[in-house]
Amino acid sequence: MHAYDTTGAALLDQLRRRSADPSRRILFTGATIVTMDRQLGTVHGDLLVEGDTIAAIGPNLTADGAVVVDASGALLAPGLVDTHRHAWETQLRRIMPDVDDLGGYVTATLAGYATVYRPEDMYTGTRLAALTALDSGITTMLDFSHNSRTREHSDAAIEALRDTGIRGVHASMGPHFGEWDRQWPADLTRLRDRYFSSADQLLTLRLATLATDEIAGPALAYGPELARVAADLGVGVSVDAVFGAAGSRAVLNWAEQGILGPDVTLIHATGLSTEAWKAMGESGTTVALAPTSDAQIGLETAIPAVDEALAVGIRPGLSIDVEVALAGDLFTQMRALLAIQRMRAVNAAYGTGGDVSRITTYDVLDFATLQGARTNGLGDVTGSLTVGKKADLLVVRAEDINNMPLNDPVGTLVSGSDARNITAVFVDGQPRKWAGEVLDVNLAELRAEVRASRDHVLNTPST
């Protein structure tokens, strides 16, 4: 048997039989714990979960009646946090892997495929995205759900998040093109009351919107009216397609209108002016970077704006964006951002004798965990292994063939690990992946459902 027993069916049965018990204890022992809490750092020892909450971290912990998980030779890490993904598109994965401009994506996906989606297609795509997120260690996912054609489309997307057990953020927006019921944003009140009535639950709600009216018209563009809607609902705002000269002008307008702030997330933020960044920094506005989307698709400058964010005191979150062209895991995003930023830093200083300002593996892991949680409005809930936060955590095999020997824990997580090394995923103290397999998924049934949905979308003329 391996040194850490996260493969045992009997142990999983113990965990699940007491899953509804708020006093249930789980004691992870003998681990290297990458807390991403700057006060704690990396701890070699044990972690205790009580109910859905982290209760203690330290060496030689004891807990009467606890289910003991021997994590010797493993890393414990916070669950990763995705700050922006269009989950409904997932059955169209890699359908356009070489798309090379925003217009091509918009024309094919938003003006084409999106218009024929049924509620059941929303459910299938969103569920597949969330299950894949859990498999790759993402315990919190913001679904920027911009295909809410009817109330039923929104309901299906939210129910898909709920049914997977992920910590899901449903960011709701009306569609760009085609026929729809024009129920958004008024329907957000119903959604809040039906699905988000408790502050202490896995699902949270945000308003999703666009930076400008260039693509889809003024109804979907952020401004004072939508800011008031969000304020009245008590929810945050996620603004997509914030880039270029038009995006810079929009940011400065929002600053003048007083509608920037910590509850607002600006997505991409490529090619923005110095003045726009200054306004963002001064207001405490959060930023969600999409490293591979910006670089691979070529959004404005095509350079993820990490240096610009850090220069004004913003530590950004990271995101996947669109699986129609891109990878669906945050390990790819961390590595891409690390390589791009360090390449830029060295290139800028080459031959000048100037200083090189490089980000580190710790930085990108911070972006993918604690800063992602803060960006999603959940910084007090998740993002680090801190006593009092929810038990969203990963058990990562550090002695697998691609990771052994364990020398630097953060470097191993960022530069060595991937989904195959994640033996267990817990969300809110509940196991969602165990022995390397996502739980409660019939793969044959899921595969048939995904294929049927994809075939419907591809074979139905757009409206």
Structural domains in the chain, CATH included, are 9-79+382-438 (2.30.40.10), 90-375 (3.20.20.140)
Q: Report CA 217 to chain centroid distance, whole Å.
A: 27
Q: What angle do CA 384, 388, 393 make, to 5 degrees?
A: 40
Q: Please report the pLDDT score of residue 5 as a whole number.
A: 57
Q: Which residue has the tokens 């790819």?
A: 332
Angle at CA 110, nearest 5°, toward 373 and 115?
115
pLDDT profile of the chain (463 residues), mean per 10: 58 87 93 97 97 97 94 97 98 96 93 97 98 98 98 98 98 96 97 90 97 89 98 98 96 98 98 98 98 96 97 98 97 98 94 91 98 98 98 97 97 98 97 96 98 98 87
- Per-residue pLDDT, 3: 40
Residue 218: alpha-carbon gap to chain centroid? 27
Contact 420, 387 (CB under 8 A): no
User: CA nearest 133: which of 337, 318, 272?
Assistant: 318
User: What pLDDT does 17 receive?
Assistant: 87
> What pLDDT sits at residue 199?
78
Give the model's pLDDT for residue 7: 60
Contact call for residues 254 and 288 (beta carbons, < 8 A): no
Phi and psi torsions of 53, nearest 5°: -125, 145
DSSP state for residue 66 in the 8-state scheme: P
Residue 397: Cβ-neighbour burial (10 angstroms; 0-12, 13-18, 19+): buried
Nearest to 129 by CA among 117, 107, 112, 145: 145
pTM for the structure as a whole: 0.96
Amino acid in the structure at residue 63: A
